[in-house]
Amino acid sequence: PNLTNHTTINHNKPQTLKSLNMCSNCLAIPTITLKLLATAFALLYGQRQLTKNSHKWTRRVTFTVTALISLAISAISIFLIVLHFNDDFRRRFFVNFCAISNLKPTLLDEHRCSILQEGNVTGKIIEFGPGPGTNFKCFENSTSAHMIEHYVAVEPNAHFEGVLKKEKGDRGLEFPLTHVGLKGEQIDISDNGSYDVVIMTHVLCSVDSPEIVLSNAEKALKQGGRIIFMEHVLAAQGTWVWYFQQSIAPMFTIIANGCKFVDLRPVMEDYLGDRFDLKMLDFEAPMPASFFFARPHIKGVAVKK
């Protein structure tokens, strides 16, 4: 496919303004890291104030425990700062995290593979945000894999490409694979209206505009083509999971390379409802206990009218 980058540059912008913007970006330390550092120092200061009249062994023990906790909090803060400012390191870290956690069998595979099977992944395919090739496990030993004519993987993180191709080979998949290093909002497909399936799993949370990505998916699909999706979403407002998502959102966005907690239900309904036959289901994903905050999910298939 002929894909081009829609990003444009305003060459008439004053150089002084450019310099100011660059300086502003350099000083844009994430607020969450400053809060963590302040918490670490506050713990040490509070320990000294609260135990200054205590027995010396009480002071020593509480200082040791408090210092260890403060050191851990400071280390997390520094790690987040490094991830925030070093794009290449953050992308590499995210690739390794996804490869380790997603390529092995998980309880979520049942939902993942069932929705892909329901959507009938055959013909010409585009997947937005395939990452390390997590969905390829569902095609292994599947008869539908032999009916895939061409697989286009739209993935802006270049470090995923090698992992993606290796995963395809390890699974014994033989269909042609094209990697496109662009964001889903940026692609311009020359053979629009000729694709059978668009796949989106755990990707719309991290794009700049879900609506533009969905628009590009719609353009790519032929009549009767399918959008297959599965996404983690914002929990119901007012629930304790929702409050927890709000509290960790600043850290999660940095660690997960831009992923956010978004209520994608109305986005899918509003954008796809008129031009697609939309079948969407809310479910609690069987995520590990440490990722309980990502259990609210939606999945479904949308067929282009």
Q: How far, in Å, are 72, 118, 157, 263, 288 from residue 245 at the CA level? A: 21, 30, 25, 12, 16
Digit-coded pLDDT (tens) for 34-85: 999 999 999 999 988 888 888 889 889 999 999 999 999 999 999 999 999 9
pLDDT digits (tens, 9 = 90+) for 125-183: 999 999 999 999 999 988 888 899 999 999 999 999 999 999 999 999 999 999 999 99
The single-letter code of the amino acid at 160 is: F
Give the per-residue pLDDT at 13: 43
Could you tell me the pLDDT band of residue 3, with boundaries at 50, 70 and 90? Answer: low
Percentage of the chain surpassing pLDDT 90?
77
Q: How many CA within 13 A on the CB side of residue 64?
A: 5
Confidence of residue 189 (pLDDT cuts 50, 70, 90): confident
Give the model's pLDDT for residue 18: 43
Sign for the CA dihedral angle at 140, 144, 148, 153 comes to negative
pLDDT tens for 80-103 read 999 999 999 999 999 999 999 999
The model's pTM: 0.86
pLDDT of residue 147: 92
DSSP 121-163: --EEEEEE--TTTGGGGGTTT-GGGGGEEEEEEE-S-TTHHHH
**Angle between the N-to-C axes of helices 240-255 and 56-85, in degrees from 0 to 180, rounded to the nearest 10:** 60
Contact 254, 90 (CB under 8 A): yes
User: What is the band of 7 on the pLDDT scale with cuts at 50, 70, 90?
Assistant: very low
Q: In the chain, what's the furthest Cα-to-Cα distance? A: 78
The span from the CA of 101 to the CA of 287, in Å, is 11
Residue holding tokens 């993606």? 164
Strand, coil or helix: 305: coil
Spatial distance between the Cα atoms of 170 and 79, rounded to a whole number of angstroms = 33
Of 175, 167, 115, which Cα lies nearest the Cα of 137? 167
Q: What pLDDT sits at residue 16?
A: 42
Q: Is 151 exposed, middle or buried (0-12, 13-18, 19+ CB in 10 A)?
A: buried
Percent of the chain with pLDDT over 70: 91
38's CB contacts (< 8 A; 6+ apart) are: none
Strand duo 276-284 + 148-154: pairing: unpaired
Structure-token pair, residue 160: 């995923």
The reported pLDDT for the residue numbered 114 is 96
Q: Is the pLDDT of residue 21 over 80?
A: no
Q: What is the mean pLDDT of the chain?
A: 89
pLDDT (mean) for 195-205: 96
Beta strand pairing status for 123-128 and 195-201?
parallel
Pull the structure tokens for residue 216: 């590009």
> Which residues touch 293 (CB under 8 Å, ≥6 apart)?
235, 241, 244, 245, 248
